[in-house]
Amino acid sequence: MAILIKNGTLVTASKSFKADLLIEGEKIKLIGEGLTHPDAQVIDAQDKLVLPGGIDAHVHLDLPMFGTVSSDDHYTGGKAAAFGGTTTVIDFVPQDEGTLEENINRWHAKADPKASVDFGFHMNITRFDKDVAKEIFSLPDLGITSLKVFTAYNGRLRLQDSEIFRVMRVARAAGMLTMVHAENGDVIDILVEEALAAGNIAPYYHAKTRPAWGAVEASLRAAALAAQAGDAPLYLVHMNAAGEVDQLAYAREHGLNMMGETCPHYLFFVEEDLQREDGAKWICSPPIRTERDNNRLWKGLEDDIIQTVSTDHCPFFFDGTQPIEYEGEMVAIPGKELGKDDFTKIPNGLPGVGDRMPILWTQGVGNGRLTPNQFVALHATNPAKIFGLYPQKGALVPGADADIAIWDPNLELQYGVNVAQHRTDYNLYEDWHLKGFPTKVFLRGQLIVDKGEWHGKPGMGRYLHRHEGEIL
């Protein structure tokens, strides 16, 4: 059935304008004024905004960690995303035993039957040799055009600088993007050892043992490696420190093909939140920082230094011994209580995939820090372009997938765990007052969220074969 959305204001990354939008099948068919269709279902979007569905380019679903697993899988995480206006997510494939393709196939086996929104994969590179280098060239044929490397997690995920340099050169030759998790793994290991020896085991010491200077230094080091690797395209994930914004600006001013993202929790929370009685809720890596860092990251968004807002969504129960009800069933998954006597055993990660767009609308657009067009660019269009999905995703143009969020800018609500749809027992934004929220969300022309009701199902999400992205 055709769907005709009438009387709304379409918001794109470049402009806002009154127009009707016709959906036929999975695609946007027409955009214009006064559109009609003899058989279409008509949706009146008077006084509402029509946005492209959001793209969260950094999520971790069904991820094993510290003897447990992130509490959202590809069904529940997609559902949570959709309620917040996001219709595409990009997950990370760990490099476990076997070839890269074998690892990708294992992740498909987890994701394909469950996915409730469209999804793509990045590939982690956590060990590197000549065989892996050869395999990387085959990844674009599997729909993967981005690699992630780490400068932290010694003995587990980290590559040495020489290996990162080689990965960057291979990625550049293969037309791929290198993403980097920037912290100083050597400093972290020393500080963690000293903290534990001194009996400093509280959540606050997670932040104190991962200094911001390590992130700043590692981000500059990554930029320098990329420059020496033939100006290999580089993307800095989860920017959290003021100095990282400075390093990204410096690199771009010097002509490097470098881009970056931040996450909502780095804009609003500070390391003192980890000193609260429930401080483990805020444990993530890299950690949240200071108000000065918050403000510099906001300025990076406002001034278009930072290209995207993602979430690093990796939720865990705060107390996994206490079940919660989810879709009529009681669910309990071991979570942050695993580290009650040792901060190094607290699973690292936060819920956020459903919070991202509503929170940033109120705090960014509503407070005048972002224009609606910047909001769309950061949350949909820029990630689509960078990660090889544009114009299929992230655009309101004829021929694009009909991924659409109808947004009511005047809808007010008290947000929190009872509104968000993450499969976990807490929300970072509990009792925040929001103004502006999606009321209808379409995935390829199918209505999956309608005024708080869920119409999606497992397996309806489609794997996206991404092409080479753009440098913004």
Q: What is the pLDDT of residues 104-134, one digit of tens each?
A: 999 999 999 999 999 999 999 999 999 999 9
CA angle (176 as vertex; 175, 177 as ends), nearest 5: 135
Looking from the CA of 21 toward its CB, the CA atoms found within 13 Å total 32
Q: Structure tokens of 247?
A: 């390093």
3-state secondary structure the chain: CCEEEEEEEEECCCCEEEEEEEEECCEEEEEECCCCCCCCEEEECCCCEEEECEEECCECCCCEECCEECCCCCCHHHHHHHHCCEEEEEEEECCCCCCHHHHHHHHHHHHCCCCCCEEEEEEECCCCCHHHHHHHCCHHHHCCCEEEEECCCCCCCCCCHHHHHHHHHHHHHCCCEEEEECCCHHHHHHHHHHHHHCCCCCCHHHHHCCCHHHHHHHHHHHHHHHHHCCCCCEEEEEECCHHHHHHHHHHHHCCCCEEEEECCHHHHCCHHHHHCCCHHHHCCCCCCCCHHHHHHHHHHHHCCCCCEECCCECCCCCCCCCCEEECCEEECCCCHHHHCCCHHHCCCCECCCCCHHHHHHHHHHCCCCCCHHHHHHHHHHHHHHHCCCCCCCCCCCCCCECCEEEEEEEEEEECCCCCCCCCCCCCCCCCCEEEEEEEEEEECCEEEEECCEECCCCCCCCECCCCCCCCC
Give me the pLDDT at residue 58, please.
98
Picking from 389, 465, 469, the residue whose alpha carbon sits closest to that of residue 142 is 465
Q: Which residues of 153-182 are buried (b: 16+ CB within 10 A; e: fewer)?
A: beeebbbeeebbbbbbbbbbebebbbbbbb
Confidence of residue 369 (pLDDT cuts 50, 70, 90): very high
pLDDT tens for 71-96 read 999 999 999 999 999 999 999 999 99
User: Cβ distance 236 to 248 under 8 Å?
Assistant: yes
Gap between the Cα atoms of 446 and 401, Å rounded: 11
Q: Per-residue pLDDT averaged across 183-193, rounded? A: 98
Gap between the Cα atoms of 233 and 443, Å rounded: 30
User: Cβ distance 320 to 347 under 8 Å?
Assistant: no
Q: Per-residue pLDDT averaged across 375-383, rounded? A: 98
Interacting residues of 163 by C-beta distance below 8 A, sequence separation 6+ = 128, 149
pLDDT tens for 34-70 read 999 999 999 999 999 999 999 999 999 999 999 999 9
Question: Residue 291, Cα to own-chain centre: how many angstroms?
Answer: 22
| Domains by residue range for the chain, with CATH | 3-52+388-454 (2.30.40.10), 54-383 (3.20.20.140)
Gap between the Cα atoms of 444 and 28, Å rounded: 9
Q: Structure tokens of 144?
A: 């993967």
The one-letter code for the residue type at 239 is M
User: Cβ distance 181 to 159 under 8 Å?
Assistant: no
Gap between the Cα atoms of 41 and 130, Å rounded: 56
Give percent above pLDDT 90 in the chain. Answer: 100
Question: Residue 318, Cα to own-chain centre: how many angstroms?
Answer: 21
The β-bridge partners of 124 are 148
Q: Structure tokens of 85?
A: 């206006």
The mean predicted confidence, pLDDT, of the chain is 98
pLDDT tens for 429-466 read 999 999 999 999 999 999 999 999 999 999 999 999 99
Residue carrying structure tokens 């043992």: 209
**Would the pTM of this model clear 0.85, i.e. be above it?**
yes
User: Cβ distance 358 to 436 under 8 Å?
Assistant: yes
pLDDT tens for 309-330 read 999 999 999 999 999 999 999 9
Looking from the CA of 431 toward its CB, the CA atoms found within 13 Å total 0
Q: Per-residue pLDDT averaged across 140-152, rounded? A: 98
Residue carrying structure tokens 């800018």: 409
Residue carrying structure tokens 């200071």: 290
* 1, pLDDT greater than 90: no
pLDDT tens for 248-291 read 999 999 999 999 999 999 999 999 999 999 999 999 999 999 99
pLDDT tens for 191-209 read 999 999 999 999 999 999 9
